[in-house]
Each structure stands twice: as C-alpha cells, then as structure tokens.
Structure 1
C-alpha cells in the first residue's frame, strides 16, 4: 500500500510517519507544501493521501520562507484531485479545530461535512491531531487498516 503524507509541521510529520511505519506492507512518501504535495499527487499514484489543511505554498528552506501560507491548502488540493480526475483516497489530519476568520471562518466539523459533499468520491474524513493525546493515532491506524483490507479484498 502506497501512502503520501503532505504535512509542513516537522513534529506532526514525524509522529504520523512513526504510526504509519508500524503497519506492515506500507510504502511511505512525504511532501512539505502545497506545490510539492500537489506535484507528487499528479505524478504518482497513491492508495491513501494523508493531507494537512493549512500549509505554505512552497517547501521551506534556509533561503525560502515557503511563500504565501494557504489556510485552505488541503481543500485546494482536493479540488485539483477532482479536476484532474486522480484516483485517490484522502484523509485530512489537522491540528486546527477552526479555519479562516470573518466570512471564511469554519469549524473542523463544518469543514468535514463540506468536504464530504464536495469530494464524495475521494474524501474519507478528518482526524483532529493533538500531540499530547493518542486517540488521533488510533483513528489513523483504523483508517489505514480498513483501506488495506479493501485493497486486498
């Protein structure tokens, strides 16, 4: 099973990767921004994409600050997946329970419902990530194991 993780936070990426590496028969790739994640999605096929909602446009480095920060990058990537007709399953893993402000303010629960309606063929759901808790890791493992079972059925 091939999994792509698109996540800009190093600690969160490390924790997600650590959990996924415990599951046998996985191939894991990671990208750190909207652009590098989208390019990878369009260039390769993955059984599961674990996607952050908010991230920089470009990979950060000592000489590159990452460009514009995209509060809804995950939703934008989902729209590109649909537009390009990419065969993928996407799981949102985010450390935020609200997004945007003013007219664009939305809770994670509301975002989850909206993404389910907008992208029903690819969007699996969301997991609220909290570094000090472990229930997010259990949810992630359950999703992955379920997908593995369906792939081998």
Structure 2
C-alpha cells in the first residue's frame, strides 16, 4: 500500500497533539509537521504532498529559544501558504483546521463562513473546506475524518 503524505501546519501544541493522535489512526497516512509560515514553505519546496492540513493563524518562523523568536503572528498566515501553493502551481487539496470562529480583518472581523467563501473563490480546486476545531468537543474529528476519506479515498 502506498502511503499518502500530509503536510500539517500547526503551531498550537495542544491542538497539534490532538490532531496527530487522530491522524496516527490512519495507517496509510504519513504526516509531516511544520509550525510556521516559513517552515511550511520550506517543506513545500522540499517534498511533494498529497494534502495540506492548514491552520489559519500562524507565526512567520518556527519557535526559537527566546520570546518573539517565532516572528510575528499572522492572522491569515494560512492564506499566505495557500497563495504560495497557488503561485508555485502546486495542485493539491488544502483543508483549513482552525479554532477561531472570527478573524480580525483590515475592514472588520471576518467570520468562518466568510473566510470559507473567500478561500473557495480565490483558490478554486486548491482550497477544499474547513474544519472548526474545539479542544473540548470531538465533532471536528468526524468532520476531518470524513473530509480526509473523501479526498484521499480511505
């Protein structure tokens, strides 16, 4: 069996651990983790993936040993990664996994349905869907499992 490779871009350790625990139940999936905008772009340049699972709010760089070493937190860092994939003509499905229902935007707050519609419009074929993550509710597990199986044919 050929294993599918997922790039999982996430900087929040508790969320990362919960999602990895679910992904590890899929024996046919290999997961590579990046924890920043810059780290994800380096991974994309080095390897090919079958899917990207992407947080929306990300730091610019991986965590360092000092405060602020991870660079500036970018509210729409995930969108920048989608743009990077688009510009580099990487044709692979992207799922956004976020724990925020609203994002501060330049012209006021952007809610999750608005973000979904904008990403669908701006990145057709690349952006597939989003999953709303909550630490104390397992509904995200079912949603993520169904989306993964639909895209990667589990």
TM bracket, shorter-chain basis:
over 0.9
Structure 1 runs, 4 residues or longer, greater than 2 Å off: none
Q: 2:43 aligns with which of 40, 44, 47?
A: 40
Question: Do residues 89 (structure 1) and 93 (structure 2) align?
Answer: yes
> Who is 2:123 aligned against?
119
With normalisation by structure 2, the TM-score equals: 0.92
Aligned length: 150
With normalisation by structure 1, the TM-score equals: 0.93
Q: What is the alpha-carbon root mean square deviation over aligned residues? A: 1.4
Deviations 1:39-90 (A, max 9, x none): 1112211111000000110001213621111100011110111111012110
Residue 102 of structure 1: CA displacement?
5.4
Runs of 5+ unmatched residues, structure 1: none
> Who is 1:69 aligned against?
73
Q: 1:27 aligns with which of 30, 50, 70?
A: 30
